[in-house]
Chains A and B, each alone.
Chain A
Amino acid sequence: MLITCPYCGPRDVIEFTYQGDGNRERPDPASQNFEAWNAYVYDRLNPAGDHNELWQHSGGCRAHLRVVRNTLTHEISSVAFARGNHAPAARRKSEDKP
């Protein structure tokens, strides 16, 4: 499986670390809404299809990434920096592309 890092370009999956479900929303740390905390810790969509995920390019630029991966085919339909709220992924120069 290849993941196209917005900074480094296409790299093998061994360079990346899975950081969990990207759909979770962390409640305010001061929140005492136990249902929201329960949902954050335990509830997962577990879809058979496109899934929002967080990955880190731990063996490369170490950036945290938002990845949409199909759980049936492993096809990756989008990769973006996690920082900056879904910032567009295209940061590489065209001449750097293989």
Chain B
Amino acid sequence: MVERLSPLEPEFHVGSHGNFEHGVEILLTETRPGSIVQLAAWPGEEKKLIAAIRAVTGLALPDGAGGGLSEGVKAVFGFAPGKFTVSDEAEGLAHAFAKAVTPAIGTVTDLSHGRTAIRIAGPKAEWVLAKFFAIDFALPAFPVGAGRSTVHHDVFAQIQRTGTDQFDIYVFRSFARSFWKALCHASEEVGYEVQ
């Protein structure tokens, strides 16, 4: 496979930044998954698609809108009715799904090169994200593993909560650098570290 370059590179400065004298409260990283795949089921075929996700990744999707789970290497969440985003540290997920998801069940779209995954973690992660997105980030409303699709200034973003104070944000690759800069600026006042 071709070596993938990060769109964040010119603005990716490892180290502590902003107001970190009293400690770093935000950790920013790029997770760089090898595969990001979007799956969509035809109406009525959702259960078969969920079974295919389980067969390929071993992840059993919980019931309900926006449900999902993350086990470190692989993650899956629903972002729209009958539609799911799956990511994997390894490459080749789209190829595996192309076999499992037949044309009668739904569609597979490989977005590995089209999205950039940014992870924000730390005690102030909810607080910083609340400055960007008009959704409820409180744990009871946004449980661990769940996914949400929303926008920041018309730039589409899919957010998965991968820990009590950790979120993975999938943004368009072409907007990733500007989003990253905005995220850094928003984290400045609480002190952040880029890893």
Determine the chain B residues whose CB is within 8 A of the CB of A7 once the complex forms: 65-66, 80-81
Q: Interface of B with A (CB < 8 Å)?
A: 43, 63-67, 79-81, 83, 134-136, 138, 140-141, 143, 146, 148-151, 154, 156
Also in contact, A61 and B64, with CB within 8 A (given A8-B149, A11-B150, A15-B151)? no
A-B contact pairs, 25 of them (CB 8 A): A6-B65, A7-B66, A7-B80, A8-B66, A8-B148, A8-B150, A11-B134, A11-B150, A14-B151, A59-B154, A59-B156, A60-B151, A61-B79, A61-B80, A61-B81, A61-B83, A62-B80, A62-B149, A63-B80, A63-B81, A91-B65, A91-B81, A93-B63, A95-B140, A98-B140
Contact at B134–A93, with CB atoms within 8 Å?
Answer: no
Contact at A83–B43, with CB atoms within 8 Å?
Answer: yes
Closest CB of chain B to A65's CB: distance in Å? 11
Contact size range, A: 20 to 34
User: When chains A and B are docked, how far (Å) is the Cα of A63 from the Cα of B64?
Assistant: 16
User: When chains A and B are docked, how far (Å) is the Cα of A15 from the Cα of B150?
Assistant: 7
Contact at A96–B141, with CB atoms within 8 Å?
Answer: yes
Number of A-B contacts (CB under 8 A): 63
Determine the chain A residues whose CB is within 8 A of the CB of B156 once the complex forms: 59
- Known interface pairs A59-B151, A93-B67; 8 further A-B residue pairs with C-beta atoms within 8 A, sorted by A's residue number: A8-B65, A15-B134, A59-B154, A60-B149, A63-B81, A83-B43, A92-B64, A93-B64
Q: How would you classify the secondary structure of chain B's contact residues: helix, strand, loop or mixed? A: loop
User: When chains A and B are docked, how far (Å) is the Cα of A12 from the Cα of B135?
Assistant: 9
Contact at B149–A96, with CB atoms within 8 Å?
Answer: no
Among A9, A14, A81, A92, the one with the most B-chain Cβ atoms within 10 Å of its Cβ is A9
The closest CB in chain A to the CB of B151 belongs to: A59
User: When chains A and B are docked, how far (Å) is the Cα of A81 from the Cα of B80?
Assistant: 12
Contact at B81–A96, with CB atoms within 8 Å?
Answer: no
Determine the chain A residues whose CB is within 8 A of the CB of B81 once the complex forms: 7, 61, 63, 81, 91
**Which residues in window 76-98 of A have CB below 8 A to B?**
81, 83-84, 91-93, 95-98
The closest CB in chain B to the CB of A7 belongs to: B65
**Which residues in window 1-27 of A have CB below 8 A to B?**
6-9, 11-12, 14-15
User: When chains A and B are docked, how far (Å) is the Cα of A80 from the Cα of B106?
Assistant: 23
Determine the chain B residues whose CB is within 8 A of the CB of A12 once the complex forms: 134
Contact at B80–A96, with CB atoms within 8 Å?
Answer: no
Determine the chain B residues whose CB is within 8 A of the CB of A84 once the complex forms: 43
Contact at B149–A61, with CB atoms within 8 Å?
Answer: yes
User: When chains A and B are docked, how far (Å) is the Cα of A59 from the Cα of B157?
Assistant: 9
Determine the chain A residues whose CB is within 8 A of the CB of B83 once the complex forms: 61
